[in-house]
Amino acid sequence: MLPRLPDITTIAVVFLKGTLPTWERFTSEFAPGALIDTATADELALSWMPSTNDANEGGLGTYRNDMRLFPRLTLHQHNARQMWARNDTQEFMDATLDALDHTFLMREARKLDSSGLEAKRRKAQVDFDLRVAELKREKDAEKKRQQIASLRTVFDVEVVLSESEIDKMTVKQLDKQLDLYQKYALDEVLVKMTKKARGLKVEKQRLTKEALKRCYDFSFFLYGLHTLYHMIQSRVRLRSPFLLFIVP
């Protein structure tokens, strides 16, 4: 890949030079004579902090790696391994446990393995995943129903193409016209306007007339779709000249 990037060295040098002041600011405490350099061993021990701000983050990553390497590893086996690896467990066992203790631990481990606990956990996980999938399907179906209802609203409202017709409209009819321009034409003036901001009837008439001028092509096309839709609903036989009319 390097031969195809002849300027990569120059770019890298410029980038590193540009970030140098920030690196110096971020690492100032490591400089000779600074806080970290002059701290005592006890102070360094007290200043320790985890590598992440979430104690579960590293644990979940370790579990994910274990499951990739050992797909049949059970959750309680993973937990046992992690607990054993911490707090010098092996040294404690070597110093305090005898043969009877080891026998007891192995017997309890066999009971746990044969209890079916992992099978129950995995079944619960499968049931949960199926439920999540079902909820997603229901959500998608509801979204489609809303989209269909929205399209029906479009076809139920006939777009008016003349200002004289706009003057005859009621407030409710004007709001439907403005809704079309706002939701489907995405008119630059109406798209961020609330219904309350549309004002009274006179103001709505003005907004509708102005939207008609700005979105006339959209209005004409929607008018054709509206006519076509109702002709199909009425089972009227369509002919090509009409199709050419509504799709200029």
Q: Encode pLDDT of 198-207 as tens digits.
A: 899 999 999 9
Round to whole Å and give the CA distance between 208 and 165.
11
Average pLDDT value for residue range 158-185? 85
133 pLDDT band (50/70/90 cuts)?
very high
User: In which region does residue 101 sit, left (phi positive, over 0), alpha (psi from -120 to 50) or beta (all else)?
Assistant: alpha
pLDDT of residue 239: 45
195 pLDDT band (50/70/90 cuts)?
confident
Round to whole Å and give the CA distance between 216 and 220.
6
pLDDT of residue 242: 42
Most confident of 56-65, 126-135, 183-192: 126-135
244 pLDDT band (50/70/90 cuts)?
very low
The answer, as to whether pTM is greater than 0.75, is no
Average pLDDT value for residue range 79-85? 86
Which residue shows structure tokens 């399907």? 137
Total Cβ atoms within 10 A of residue 174: 19
**Tokens coding 155:** 């076809």
Residue at 52: amino acid letter: T
Task: Answer yes or no: is pLDDT of 23 > 70.
Answer: yes
* H helices present in the chain, as ranges: 8-26, 35-38, 41-46, 55-69, 75-84, 89-96, 99-114, 117-156, 163-167, 171-183, 201-214, 216-233, 240-246
Round to whole Å and give the CA distance between 120 and 75.
11
Instruction: Please indicate whether residue 149 or residue 116 has the higher confidence score (pLDDT).
Output: 116
Round to whole Å and give the CA distance between 197 and 203.
10
Instruction: Judge residue 141's burial from the number of C-beta atoms within 10 Å of its C-beta, 0-12 exposed, 13-18 middle, 19 or more buried.
Output: exposed
Query: What is the average pLDDT score of the chain?
Result: 82
What percent of the chain has a predicted confidence (pLDDT) above 70? 85
8-22, 27-41, 43-57, 134-148 — which is least confidently predicted? 43-57
Task: Answer yes or no: is pLDDT of 247 > 50.
Answer: no
Average pLDDT value for residue range 179-198? 82
